[in-house]
């Protein structure tokens, strides 16, 4: 699903028509396997940045974790190097909820990639949806508990005043790491 959706979107953005035979077959496959709502987390992030997936359908990637003391095991700087380097920009983009320009092509893609109208998608349900072809290992009950707590408690709390000022500090800190 990840490769199919991202390749489909790339070809459409580059100007290929949705009626092209390969894209028609690709779209049929995407829709028959759960639509773009079932793309894995990295794909959800990419689609969110270009306006094809609502940010509320993503599991939180908390930028504030970069502010905890480095000696704590939850500090992202202590993660395995590849995880650390992926978490850094994703946490920044998640914190900013960055979305590129919504063009006519993006609006058309919203209709092409989902089996229901874009504005009717249940993003809470989509957050935990992953196509079976991309699911390497099902999440454990503990992982589901952590993601639910992050989505329903931590992220909403971090977006309320005055705690949301911490987000700005975390984003500036992440940008220093990126530089």
Could you write out the DSSP letters of every residue in 102-122?
--HHHHHHHHHS-SS-GGG--
Sign of the dihedral through C-alpha 50, 170, 148, 139: positive
Contact present, 5 and 47 (Cβ < 8 Å):
yes
Q: So what's the pLDDT on residue 81?
A: 83
Q: How far apart, in whole angstroms, are the C-alpha atoms of residue 125 and residue 165?
A: 29
Q: How far apart, in whole angstroms, are the C-alpha atoms of residue 62 and residue 60?
A: 6
Residue-wise pLDDT tens digits, 74-102: 888 888 888 878 889 999 999 999 999 99
Please, which pLDDT band fits residue 31 given cuts at 50, 70 and 90?
very high
Q: Mean pLDDT throughout 152-168?
A: 90
Please, which pLDDT band fits residue 138 given cuts at 50, 70 and 90?
confident
Q: All domains of the chain, ordered by start, with CATH?
A: 1-176 (1.50.10.20)
Closest CA to 1 of 48, 52, 35, 50: 35
Q: How far apart, in whole angstroms, are the C-alpha atoms of residue 166 and residue 179?
A: 20
Q: Mean pLDDT throughout 44-67?
A: 95
């Amino acid at each position: 699903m990840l490769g199919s959706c991202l390749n489909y979107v790339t070809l459409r953005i580059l100007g290929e028509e949705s009626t092209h035979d390969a894209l028609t077959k690709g779209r049929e496959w995407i829709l028959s396997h759960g639509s773009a709502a079932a793309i894995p987390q990295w794909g959800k992030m990419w689609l969110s940045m270009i306006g094809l997936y609502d940010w509320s359908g993503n599991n939180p990637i908390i930028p504030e974790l970069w502010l905890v003391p480095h000696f704590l095991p939850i500090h992202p700087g202590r993660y395995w190097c590849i995880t650390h380097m992926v978490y850094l920009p994703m946490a920044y983009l998640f914190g900013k909820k960055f979305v590129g320009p919504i063009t006519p092509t993006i609006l058309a893609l919203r209709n092409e990639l989902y089996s229901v109208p874009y504005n009717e998608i249940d993003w809470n349900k989509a957050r935990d949806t992953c196509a079976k072809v991309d699911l390497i290992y099902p999440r454990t009950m503990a992982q589901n508990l952590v993601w639910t707590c992050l989505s329903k408690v931590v992220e909403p709390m971090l977006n309320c005043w005055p705690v949301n000022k911490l987000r700005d500090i975390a984003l500036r800190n992440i940008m220093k790491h990126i530089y």
